[in-house]
Structure 1
Amino acid sequence: MSNLKGLEQVVLSPKESDEVYELLRDAYVPREPVCIGLRSSYDELKPLFESVIPHTLTNGISIGLKDSSSGKVVAVMLNVVIDSPDFQLFKNGELGSEKADLYSKLLQDFCAGVDVFNGSQFKKNLELLLLCVHPNYGKRGIGAELIKMSENKGRAMGCDIATIQAVNIITDHIVRKLGYQEVSKMDLSERRKENGEPLVDMELMRANGTTHLTYLSKRL
């Protein structure tokens, strides 16, 4: 495909760990609205990433793109397969960083409010967990291609539904064009810390395009 010219597809594994974390540091945290709204640095959120990312790199279903010239990972779609209602990816209050714990609890609460199996209609769910494309490779449709690749792998593994938590308007726009439909939405202005303070800086969130987390799904 022309929009992937100069890029090499790779199934991510632990050997790409350092490059994945580097991409999150340089291209995800500085642009992701919730990270911005939490006023979080990469180091503050790293415990959350380190609690989740290893699982996505050992299941054979996460996709990356490497620059053919440099060999560096420049885009990722990190995925997990959920095959049980008891599956829990995010931890609550165990990460040792206030910002990481806040973000983890936010995601945990959001996920808990969604029945990804729609009762018993679906048996295995492909969760599109984290999409990140380095800005130097933006506006080429790479995000959509990574999602399509992930869907193909999900189908091959027997997944009958795909879900995604859209935390920015770009991802939201991409997946809706690919046929994903909104299942649930969380208004972050309603989320509070234990002391009653807002969980996120809403002005910063608005300035970066969204004040919501949106859960979307698509039958595979």
Structure 2
Amino acid sequence: MPEKTFLLQTDQTVEYVRVTPQLVPRCLEVMRTSFYPHETVCAALQLGNHPECFAEMDAITTDVIKEGVSIAAIDKATGLVAGVSINKIHVQGDADFTEKHIQNCQHSQSRNVLRWMRDVDHKLDIHEHCKVQTVMELMFVCIAPEFRKRGIARKLFEVSVKLAKSGFRPIFHPGQTFDRFRPPEVVTAICTSLVTQKIARNMNFQIADRIQFRQFGCYDRINLGEAVGLSVDSLTYEYLRI
């Protein structure tokens, strides 16, 4: 059973909990059915057409989850994971987190997604922009297809911010102090869809940068701007001071 409920949705059907080791496989399944095939950049870079790449994406997702600050939305009636926010702590001066995973990728599609993640981070130093040392990033936010249009993504944003404000203790490595995990000073999100951008606006996130997808150029002959198409022309790099 998840270790703590942070927020109960108003219709009393969904609870929001920190992701524990027991929840990891179920969260990865949601990532496989929702985020990897359908997230704007993943879809543009054709990750969903190559399920053989999913294990490599699972590796970075699991690595982030082990920091113990990710949130799952659990449908109370079925026990299914309705959605997840995979959250990561970034401390100024840390080594490039995605680089080691890029080196371990054998498939071009997963490698391209991680290269894009690295390229976004290189376009803006959020620590310098906000003049802070520690941030918590809402790295991957996704909703299982059957649970969409119920406000769960907005709640995952809200609960993640609540967790950042409240502080947290290790749940994957009991007894470890996590001295590097100073309380985050801002929460960040790289919003690649109109849905997440609208959520960020409604929650008073500030736009640190707006980057057109065409500025990223090509990944193994795929022009990201052209591949994304007309649905959204740019991402927003957002932050909320806490």
Give the TM-score normalised by the residue count of structure 1: 0.87
Q: 2:44 aligns with which of 37, 43, 50?
A: 37
Residue 122 of structure 2 corresponds to which residue in structure 1? 112
Let me know the Cα RMSD of the aligned residues. Answer: 2.3
One-letter identity of the residue aligned with 2:77:
S
Distance 1:37 1:187 in 2: 14
Counterpart secondary structure, 1:36:
helix
Residue 82 of structure 1 corresponds to which residue in structure 2? 90
One-letter identity of the residue aligned with 1:205:
V
**1:48-83 deviation per Cα after TM superposition (whole angstroms, max 9, x unaligned):** 422321233222211101111221111111101112
Q: Conserved in 2, the CA contact under 8 Å of 1:52 and 1:89?
A: no
* TM-aligned CA deviation for residue 36 of structure 1: 1.8
Distance 2:52 2:123 in 1: 26
Structure-2 change in CA distance of 1:205 and 1:3 (3 Å): farther
* TM-aligned CA deviation for residue 188 of structure 1: 2.1
Residue 50 of structure 1 corresponds to which residue in structure 2? 58
Distance 1:56 1:192 in 2: 27
Residue 65 of structure 1 corresponds to which residue in structure 2? 73
Structure-2 change in CA distance of 1:119 and 1:40 (3 Å): closer
Moved more, 41-50 or 91-100: 41-50
Q: Conserved in 2, the CA contact under 8 Å of 1:8 and 1:66?
A: yes
Moved more, 6-15 or 160-169: 6-15
**What are the ranges of 5 or more consecutive residues in structure 1 without an aligned counterpart?**
none
Counterpart secondary structure, 2:160:
helix
Q: Conserved in 1, the CA contact under 8 Å of 2:9 and 2:15?
A: no
Structure-2 change in CA distance of 1:155 and 1:87 (3 Å): farther
Residue 25 of structure 1 corresponds to which residue in structure 2? 32
Residue 205 of structure 1 corresponds to which residue in structure 2? 228
**1:115-163 deviation per Cα after TM superposition (whole angstroms, max 9, x unaligned):** 2213682121011111111232222221111111111111223211111
Q: 1:174 aligns with which of 199, 205, 214?
A: 199
Residue 215 of structure 1 corresponds to which residue in structure 2? 237
1:94 aligns to 2:104 (yes or no): yes
**What are the ranges of 5 or more consecutive residues in structure 2 without an aligned counterpart?**
1-7, 168-182
Residue 3 of structure 2 corresponds to which residue in structure 1? none
Give the TM-score normalised by the residue count of structure 2: 0.80
Count of matched residue positions in the alignment of Structure 1 and Structure 2: 217
